Amino acid sequence: MEITAKRPWLGSLGEVPASLDYFQGSMVEMLENNAKRYPNSIAFDFMGKPTAYREMMANIEKCARSLRTIGVRENDRVTIAMPNCPQAIYMFYGLNMIGAVANMVHPLSSEKELEFYINESESVTVITLDQFYHKIEAIRENTCAVNVIIARIKDALSKPMKAGYMLTEGRKIKKIPSDAPVILWDDFMRLGKACFWNYRVKRGAEDAAAILYSGGTTGTTKGIMLTNLNFNALAAQLKATNPMFCVGDRMLAAMPLFHGFGLGVCIHSMLALGGRCVLVPRFTAASYSKLITKYRCNFIAGVPTLYEALLRLPNMEKADLSHLKGVFSGGDSLSVELKKRFDKFLSGHKATVQVREGYGTTETVTACCLTPITKAKEGSIGIPFPDTYIKIVKPGTDEELPYGEEGEILLAGPTVMKMYIKHPEETAQTLRRHADGLTWVYTGDLGVMDEEGFIFFRGRAKRMIISSGYNIYPAQLENVFDANELVQMSCVIGVPDAYRMQRPKAFVTLKPGVPANEETRQKIMDYAAKNIAKYALPKELEFRDTLPKTLVGKVAYRQLEEEEAAKREKKDVNG
């Protein structure tokens, strides 16, 4: 019996084709096509300043020429440690134009993490904001990077906004020494004038385009090599599954560029389809809500945390959301209760749509399935995109399970990654070719499929914490805590959080003679803050004389999870 979900977008679920034609060129070529069709249409807005497609492409071309001038060549890697801002977009597509690969990383990463990302990708150049320069400078000599480009938010602002920014946020930024060995963005963009040779490199669908990071199946950070086709296919799939989309429709792009959801859905798919991105460089729920109404955004995408936050904001009480065409949730499981509350909120604010939940992995850029427009099932994460296949197997095998039986979720389709860089064994473990001729991604996630092809997410086979949509791997945090001279052993677990859905909590046993006092706690937390990204840093640290162990001597993290659950239950009972 065939139980693989393959063509469920037909018939009663909506007239969406089961198969699509995909552009076989590069990502930047898709943007160029739109710039020719709609040169004066707005490509993106940044802090009140709009940029048309024609201007965007001119700056991408300048950036490409400058990259060639400083020596970046085909297949070279360049680290982009930037928030959602114009310079990041120009750099991302400029690299694509010269055939280089963008290594996308979180700008708030710790020094050690940045060092790892730069060296793992073998990046020849790094671009970051002025406020992060000192982190790069601290680890620069330990990396393979030749050039450091420094961009500034103020350079992308209109004159009135620039003045206000310099009086507020700009004043807080530590000055960069005048003799610092860096290239400032404006100087960098002028270097392209010296580029007289052919700087464009013809790239095809299967050529490498970007590296995003994930823990893979083991929780060890790995770079995921993605191709032009991966991103361009996602754009085509989103258009097919959202026929209400029109050229010029606005997407509130708050999800970050280093995240597949932000880069693939909110940025590239919109620009590849002629949409308009409202760039949000630093997310706060309050600013997000204001931008939704100010720009009358047609599409919003976010993690459950975002929707939980919007429900609590007083300025949304009288908001008119009738302009919304699509509201998408991903990055973490959307609880049935939260979906009901937010759907009610949307209805009460004149919206004619409901939240559509999706599912995917960074190994497939981002979403691979989505709740259809015409039919939803409570608790389901949707059905596969066109040309995307999902099946449920006995974990770790290719043995398909019957409908309704829980197993590992496998994915196949045009958005499947090329490989993990420098990890051939893990690549072979995650990407496996079956007798059907398809290459399947073993996600490590558990789920169930019903007879209509709807998928129901059940949990994560691999140990991982998802906080505000970010993947946090306890093993990595434990390595940091265990390396501290005061710590004997540590264990990190995820505990429920009303806002972030989950947050990390650390349990620590101290070395003999070390006092379990506030001074010790502060020393350990100060150390952790230097080695762990802010979004992953546990805010709660509990000292234990001993940590529970399994029969084979491993720390019994599940026992700690159960203890925390019992504490919460007791607290709830006692009010």
In a domain, residue 546? The reply is: yes
* Dihedral, 98, 99, 103, 107 alpha carbons, nearest 10: 20
Chain centroid to CA 14: 29
| Domains of the chain: total | 2
Instruction: Please give the pLDDT value at position 1.
Output: 36
Instruction: Please give the pLDDT value at position 575.
Output: 59
What residues make up the domain containing 511? Answer: 465-574
Residues of the chain whose pLDDT is less than 70? 1-15, 163, 165-167, 215-219, 461-462, 550-554, 572-575
CATH of residue 161: 3.40.50.980
Instruction: Please give the pLDDT value at position 551.
Output: 53
In whole angstroms, give the CA distance from residue 113 to residue 134. 14
In whole angstroms, give the CA distance from residue 107 to residue 159. 26
Query: Last residue of some domain: 203, 221, 252?
Result: 203
Query: Last residue of some domain: 155, 178, 203?
Result: 203
In a domain, residue 173? The reply is: yes
Query: Last residue of some domain: 182, 203, 224?
Result: 203
CATH of residue 487: 3.30.300.30
Contact 338, 304 (CB under 8 A): yes
In a domain, residue 235? The reply is: no
- The predicted-structure confidence for 505-535, as pLDDT tens digits, reads as follows 999 999 989 999 999 999 999 999 999 999 9
Show Cβ contacts of residue 71 under 8 Å, excluding neighbours closer than 6 positions: 124, 146, 147
Show Cβ contacts of residue 17 under 8 Å, excluding neighbours closer than 6 positions: 9, 240, 386
In a domain, residue 142? The reply is: yes
Contact 413, 364 (CB under 8 A): yes
Q: Between β-strands 276-279 and 250-253, what pairing exists: parallel, antiparallel or unpaired? A: parallel
In a domain, residue 528? The reply is: yes
In a domain, residue 181? The reply is: yes
In whole angstroms, give the CA distance from residue 23 to residue 344. 39
In a domain, residue 479? The reply is: yes
* Buried-state track 181-195, b at ≥16 Cβ within 10 A, e below 16: ebbbbeebbebbeeb
In whole angstroms, give the CA distance from residue 191 to residue 188. 5
In a domain, residue 320? The reply is: no
Instruction: Please give the pLDDT value at position 160.
Output: 78
User: pTM for this one?
Assistant: 0.85
Instruction: Please give the pLDDT value at position 14.
Output: 52
Contact 5, 383 (CB under 8 A): yes
Instruction: Please give the pLDDT value at position 215.
Output: 59
